[in-house]
Amino acid sequence: MYLQLKNKLHSKSFISLEVTPPHGAGNEAIFEKLKATKLANKIDAFVVTDSPLARLKADSVVSAFKLQEYFSKPAIATITMRDKNKIALQSTLLGANELGVRAILALTGDPATSSNQPNVKGVFEGNSTLLLEIIKCFNAGIDYAGGEFSTPLKPTLSFAVCNSSSKHPKTLQKKIATKLRFNPAAIITQPIYTLQNAKDLKELFEETKAQTKSDTELILGFFPVTRLKTAQFLNSHVSGVHIPQNYMQQLSTAKKIGEDEELKVGIALSKELFKELKTLHPKIHLMGANNFKLLDEITE
C-alpha cells in the first residue's frame, strides 16, 4: 500500500476521498454506503478523519486499517495534536506501522471547546509540525528523544494541510514553507471555490517548493456546497476558506424558488468547479461528510 500510494502521488493524477468513522464500533455500514456508489472506483486513496470538531468517532488508525482491508486501497490516517501528548502520538504511530497504515495526515485539530463530551481538555503539546517532525525521526530510525528502535520500522508518508486563501499571501507562503521543511508527501489545501484561487495557490506553492527544494505534491481540496446556509457558514467561520459572491448569489436566488432548485443549482456549480480544478491540477481531495452519493454524482 505504501509504494502504491507513493507512486500514485507522483503520477499525473490523484484523487483522495475523506471518510469519517462512525460514532460507534462498526465501520461496515459506512463501507457499504460507499460501495453502493461508483466513488470507490474513482479514487486512489482514502483520508480518514480523527474525531472532527472534537466529536467522538472511532479511532482513525484502526478505521484506516479496516478501509485498506475492505477496499484494497491505501488509507491515510489523520492524527491531531488535540488529544495526545508526545508519548501517545509515538505509541499510535508504532501501532499504525505494525498494522500497515503507513500514511499519516498531521493536523493541529479543532479546539476541545467544540466537543460534545463534557469537560474535555485539549493536550496540544505542539501544532501539526511537531507530528511531522516525529514522523521524520521515525523514518530515520529513532524516536523523538533520539532513542533507536529495538526493531526497524517501515517508512511512513506524512501529509500536511494549508489554507486555500489568505489576505496576506506572504503569510500563507511562510506557513507552507514551514511544512515543506519536513518534506511531506503532499500538502492538502482547504476547499477551493474559484479557478483563480486555485491558480494563485498553485503558483505560490510551486514558488515555495522551488525555494525549499522539496518534492512535495499539492492536492487541491474540494468540498461541494449545495446549500446557501453551508456557504454562509464556511465564509463566516472557517478561516482560510472563501466562497465568492457570485456563487453565494446564485444559491440565494435558487433558495427563493425552493429547496429543490437550490440543490440543483448547488450541484451544477459544484460540477463545473470540479471540472475546472481537475483540468488545471488533477490532484484533488474530495470532502463531503460521508455524502458519497452526492460526490459520486458531482464527479461523473
Backbone angles phi, psi at 272, to 5 degrees: -65, -40
**pLDDT 10s digits, 81-101:** 999 999 999 999 999 999 999
User: What Rg value do the Cα atoms of the chain yield, rounded?
Assistant: 19
Whether 267 shows a pLDDT value over 80: the answer reads: yes
pTM for this predicted structure? 0.94
Give the per-residue pLDDT at 137. 97
Indicate the pLDDT class of residue 5, thresholds 50, 70 and 90.
very high
Reduce the secondary structure of 2-56 to three states and give it as a string. HHHHHHHHCCCCEEEEEECCCCCCCCHHHHHHHHCCCHHHHCCEEEECCCHHHCC
Domain at 2-225+280-298, CATH from 3.40.30.160, 3.20.20.220, 3.40.50.300, 3.40.50.10490: 3.20.20.220
Contacts of 233 (CB under 8 A, 6+ apart): none
Q: How far apart are CA 134 and CA 215, in angstroms?
A: 19
Give the per-residue pLDDT at 26. 85
Taking alpha carbons only, the member of 208, 213, 221 closest to residue 277 is: 221
The Cα angle at residue 228 between residues 223 and 230, in degrees rounded to 5: 45
- How high is the mean pLDDT of the chain? 95
Give the per-residue pLDDT at 127. 94
C-alpha cell of residue 236: 463566516
Give the per-residue pLDDT at 235. 87
Q: Quickly list DSSP for 174-212.
A: HHHHHHHTT--SEEEEEE---HHHHHHHHHHHHHHHHHH
Q: What percent of the chain has pLDDT over 70?
A: 100
Q: Quickly list DSSP for 235-278.
A: HHHSTT----HHHHHHHHHHHHH-HHHHHHHHHHHHHHHHHHHH
**pLDDT 10s digits, 145-178:** 999 999 999 999 999 999 998 888 999 999 999 9
Whether 239 shows a pLDDT value over 80: the answer reads: no
Picking from 80-89, 239-248, 255-264, which range would have the lowest pLDDT averaged per residue? 239-248
- Strands 45-48 and 217-222 come out as unpaired
Q: What percent of the chain has pLDDT over 90?
A: 89
The answer to whether the CB of 263 falls within 8 A of the CB of 226 is yes
Helices 169-180, 195-212: crossing angle, 10 deg rounding:
50
| Mean pLDDT, residues 192-219 | 94
**pLDDT 10s digits, 108-130:** 999 898 898 999 999 999 999 99
Indicate the pLDDT class of residue 2, thresholds 50, 70 and 90.
confident
C-alpha cell of residue 58: 472511532
The answer to whether the CB of 48 falls within 8 A of the CB of 78 is yes
